[in-house]
Structure 1
Amino acid sequence: MTAPGSPEVLQLQQVPEPKLQNDTEILVRLHAAGVNPIDTKLRQRGTFYPDQMPAILGCDGAGVVEAVGSGVQQFRVGDEVYFCAGGLGESNTGNYAELTVVDESSVAPKPTSLSFAEAAAAPLVLITAWEALYDRARLEAGQKVLIHAGAGGVGHVAIQLAKIKGAEVCTTVSSQDKARLVRQLGADHPILYKQTDFVQAALDWTGGEGVDIAFDTIGGKTFWESFPAVRVYGDVVTILEPDSATNWKAARSRNLRISLELMLTPLLQGLVAAQQHQAEILKQCAQWIDEGKLKIHLSETYPLQDAAVAHQAIATGSTTGKIVLIME
């Protein structure tokens, strides 16, 4: 990324190979990199490290370990791995590349049943959905959950994580095709929000009481319009920053607990224990994936040199599942 701006600021360039700088780092030859909305936002408005331009974007990666630092304990050369690390603009990081350096604290063994492309699609959305539902909202078996945009990147794994925990799930989708997809993933009650008031649908589904948890992956007015769909003393989790127009009245009158989920916090603040927690999430999810309990919906792949095209595709906001770049 040469400067903030349109997708065209993503240019294929030869750069020096990244070097191991700490004894707990590993060098990974990347086979694939996930493309996430955070990538497009950083490209548009600038990275977290504007003084370290040009930058390599991409938080999600999957590949093969090529070298390890002297203090690395969990990985060896040749191991297949996946992770969410780097790509926020800091030099010597980023996964839209052939090689990257990551600390072993952020890395997990790749699910053996997934291709590198499928694995690269998984980390950010798995961690986000897990932290939102399990850590923030404290999801329990038997609870009823409303998940927005269930066919999207975060939504499609959130449905499955909720079902693994023993919850019932209703989810908003925009089309019959997406309704079929979310049913295949385990959703109990798809809501076609363009035709149906999702609040009324959620209330009808819960006998008028409201869901125990609403998980907002869209932001804006969807966040605060969800409040009346949640039972008194229930939970709302959002992965977007609430805007200044938010109407908090229904949340206050229903005594809702509001949680904010940003899975990038450990990376931005250098919280090693939290990064290790995220790696443990990826290890557990890899087990569930290999057991057939959890699926990653990969919708499109692009060669690395078409990163700008991938950004254009994700900017439409209507993609199903995940988009991934492939290193050829």
Structure 2
Amino acid sequence: MKAVIMTAVGEPDVLQFQEVPDPKIQSATEILVRLKAAGINPIDTKLRSRGTFYPDQMPAILGCDGAGIVEAIGSEVEKFQVGDAVYFCNGGLGGDYGNYAELTVIDEKFATLKPQSLSFIEAAASPLVLITAWEALYDRGRLQPGQKVLIHGGAGGVGHVAIQLAKLQGAEVATTVSSAENGAFVQELGADFVINYKATDFVEKVLEWTQGEGVDLAFDTVGKEVFYQTVLAVKNYGDLVSILEPDPKLGTLKEARLRNLRMSLELMLTPMLQARINDQVDQAKILQQCARLMDEGKLKILVNQTFPLAAASVAHKVLEAGVTRGKLVLTME
């Protein structure tokens, strides 16, 4: 098969388009998937530039998100048949096969049927951001109907999904964006209050929106100084969830403690990294629920740009240059 191989740690040119052996089904519950598309996520560029989680298993095939058609099944597979269209978040961390390839093998427990209303490209763009936003808002943040939530980077991959999931939960949503165009986009998704963080102080605007009280829940997708600034936008006894590790050199948690904030970290890769099979199964169930919402027209994914598989290095350059809206996807056709 053709695949994109990460030959070393470094710049995008370490991603090489090559012929490699086809993956084989190794256990009775695995399925062989002919990939039609693979989502590109910031974790991919970080692994390429800093090293994978399994440095002793180089070269590596990156890409956690995939969508394709089941081409073969193990002898004990029950969920799928040959010809089924599936999508999933699995592999791509430097250990198991990733999805920057024409074929991959995955245990049936970790895949789910592709939403019928989505193309393979849209489906491949979806899993990691869907699971991240779902876990952050519903599991970590315990978002309830009627609450006010602040979502940073509302036009981004995770952010634009988070807005929709928050609205589906009956919350009021404020979100930060970098431009008027992105502001119009997030309003189409249902955002109630849009803040251009380049033109104004988002904390001041949030406090105005909440009559000085602060939001019930803030979802930080940016990190760095923004994490500590966001503390000031959350009400006492509220929640702050971040997908990035707070940098202690950039601030302290004194104000968060004074406000009695409940603080949570979200890393949807934990089940894969720790081989927590039951948690991986739970994430597949999240994708099942999201597929239903998508087919009901209640949830959508924006694909900003697509690239042929051979152009993965170009896609990485585009992502690192700063894509501010939606997702990037590699296609195998």
Query: Which TM-score band applies after superposition, normalised by the shorter structure?
Result: over 0.9
Match of 2:67 in 1: 62
2:78 alignment partner, one of 73, 87, 97: 73
CA deviation vs aligned residue, 1:133-156 (integer Å, no higher than 9, x gap): 000010110000000000000000
How far does residue 294 in structure 1 lie from its aligned partner after superposition?
0.4
How far does residue 22 in structure 1 lie from its aligned partner after superposition?
1.5
The whole-number CA distance in structure 2 between the counterparts of 1:319 and 1:100 is 30
How far does residue 318 in structure 1 lie from its aligned partner after superposition?
3.4
- Tell me if 1:259 matches 2:264: yes
The whole-number CA distance in structure 2 between the counterparts of 1:314 and 1:62 is 20
Identity, in percent, stands at: 67
Where in structure 2 are the equivalents of 1:26-175 lying within 5 Å? 26-91=31-96, 93-175=97-179
Stretches of structure 2 lacking an aligned partner (at least 5 in a row): 1-5
How far does residue 100 in structure 1 lie from its aligned partner after superposition?
0.3
The whole-number CA distance in structure 1 between the counterparts of 2:32 and 2:237 is 47
- Tell me if 1:282 matches 2:257: no
Q: TM-score of the superposition, structure 2-length normalised? A: 0.97
| Secondary structure, counterpart of 2:240 in structure 1 | strand
| Secondary structure, counterpart of 1:308 in structure 2 | helix
- Tell me if 1:219 matches 2:223: yes
- AA paired with 1:124? L
- Tell me if 1:18 matches 2:23: yes
- AA paired with 1:67? A
The whole-number CA distance in structure 2 between the counterparts of 1:37 and 1:71 is 35
Q: Which moved more, 1:32-41 or 1:249-258?
A: 249-258
- AA paired with 2:164? Q
The whole-number CA distance in structure 1 between the counterparts of 2:324 and 2:79 is 36
Match of 2:3 in 1: none
| Secondary structure, counterpart of 2:328 in structure 1 | strand
- AA paired with 2:216? D
CA deviation vs aligned residue, 1:106-134 (integer Å, no higher than 9, x gap): 11110101110000000000000000000
How far does residue 325 in structure 1 lie from its aligned partner after superposition?
0.2
How far does residue 32 in structure 1 lie from its aligned partner after superposition?
0.1
Two-structure CA RMSD over aligned residues (Å): 0.7
- AA paired with 1:98? E
Match of 2:297 in 1: 292
2:182 alignment partner, one of 173, 178, 185: 178
| Secondary structure, counterpart of 1:11 in structure 2 | strand
| Secondary structure, counterpart of 1:12 in structure 2 | strand
How far does residue 70 in structure 1 lie from its aligned partner after superposition?
1.5
How far does residue 319 in structure 1 lie from its aligned partner after superposition?
3.0
| Secondary structure, counterpart of 1:172 in structure 2 | strand
The whole-number CA distance in structure 1 between the counterparts of 2:322 and 2:139 is 27
Q: TM-score of the superposition, structure 1-length normalised? A: 0.99
- AA paired with 1:169? V
- AA paired with 1:280? K
Contact 1:214 1:235 in 2 (8 A): yes
Over 2 Å off, 4+ runs: none
